[in-house]
Structures are given as C-alpha cells and as structure tokens.
Amino acid sequence: MTRGNTRQRIQDVALELFAEQGYERTSLREIAERLEVTKAALYYHFRTKEDIVVSLFKDLTRPIDELIEWSKQQPRTLEIKREILCRYQEALSAAAPLFRFMQENQATVRELSIGETFKERMIALIELVQEPGSCMTDRVRCISALFTMHAGMFFTQNVEGDPEEKREAILEVAIDLVTQAHHRSQSQTETPWARRNETGLTAEP
C-alpha cells in the first residue's frame, strides 16, 4: 500500500519533530500519528527510538566524513582551507534540520552513543583548518570560524535579510578568521620578527 518508502517517511517526520520540539518531548506516538501508522510500525523499521536518531545521523553525516577524509589528503594551504569552510557550509545547509537538532539537543545527543562522534568530527575539522602549533588566539580563531557557521543556523532564522546574502557573509567571516590564523602562523614560523606587524586587525593605522 504505502510501498517501501515508509522508512524514509519515518525519518523525515521524526527529524522534523525532533528539530521542532526536541528529542525527548517528541513521542513515538506523535510520530506515528502524524504518519498515520501505528507505533508498532515504527518498531518494524527501527529497533528503538534512539535508532531513529542514529540512522538520521548516519545518513546525513556522511558528507562531513567525506569532507574530513578529503581534507586529510590535501596540503594545508589557505586555498584548501577556504574550500573546506565552503564545503562545510554546504554540508551544514544540506542537513540543516539535523544540525539544528544536534545543536539544540546537545545534552540529549551526548548520551546517545553518537555524541562523541559529533564532537570528534568538529575537532577533526578544527585541526584541519588550523596550523599545527599555532598560538592560542589562532586556535580560537579557527574554532570561532566553525562556530560562526553553526551560528548561521541561528542567524538564518532570527535575523532578517536575504538568505543567500547571509550565507555569503557567514562564509566571508569564517574565511577571514581562518585566513588570519593562517597568516599569523606562517609568519610566526618563517619570520618571527614580522609577527607584531601581521597581527593586523587590532593594530590598525
């Protein structure tokens, strides 16, 4: 009758509700009702409630894993870093509801056998846009760049303006941050005496 797409439909509705109300506030009854199936049907497709989240996570997280994998293969040039940020943004918006969910249900997700996995990914990415051995400030800059993109989810919903314009602005700021960190570290290594000079942003003429 409904043909093999039920599993997919469960995932869709579940994600929608999880993102909207949170994981614990969303009951399987609710999901089932919205799908006009019985609770038991959900259990035909997923072993537990947690399993639904895990499946969502796996399905939608793949792009990021691929990005990490790809990045590891690349040289750590500024060009590549830019590309990483750009692709990360794409991955985030492709899976926007999931990431919104992940962000807004961290406490829950942390106990959900995928939490660590997500944090690990973030740390992996941070390290990939960061020069090894760079100073604390630059490490913060890189973290900040990634969080800026996450902030985008919030930003996109709560601040007025053209979405596309916002997207570009977010990317620009993130790239700025990583660029600064990149240059400072480069100069730090190659020409330490130039350091003060490069700090740039705070010391403007």
130: nearest Cα among 141, 119, 115, 114? 141
Residue 168 to residue 120: CA distance in whole angstroms: 27
141 binds its own copies (CB under 8 A): yes
Partner from DNA, its own copies, none binding residue 43, C-beta < 5-8 Å depending on class: DNA
Sign of torsion, CA 190 195 200 205? negative
| Distance, CA of 62 to CA of 49 (rounded, Å) | 21
CA separation, residue 177 to residues 67, 145, 171 (Å): 20, 6, 10
**198 sits near its own copies (criterion: CB under 8 A):** yes
Q: What is the C-alpha separation between 138 and 96, in angstroms, rounded? A: 28
Among 14, 28, 145, 149, binds DNA (CB under 7 A): 28
Number of residues that bind DNA (CB under 7 A): 23
Residue 51 or 198 having the CB closest to DNA: 51
Q: Could you tell me which stretch among 8-16, 39-47, 50-58, 136-144 binds its own copies (CB under 8 A)?
A: 136-144
The Cα 42–Cα 47 span in angstroms is 8
Which of 119, 133, 195, 196 is close enough to bind its own copies by CB under 8 A?
119
Q: Which of 12, 16, 34, 45 binds DNA (CB under 7 A)?
A: 45
Write out the residues near its own copies by the rule CB under 8 A: 19, 21-25, 78, 101, 103-108, 110-111, 119, 123, 135-137, 139-141, 143-144, 147-148, 150-151, 154-155, 158-159, 161, 165-166, 168-170, 172-173, 175-177, 179-180, 183, 198, 200-202, 204
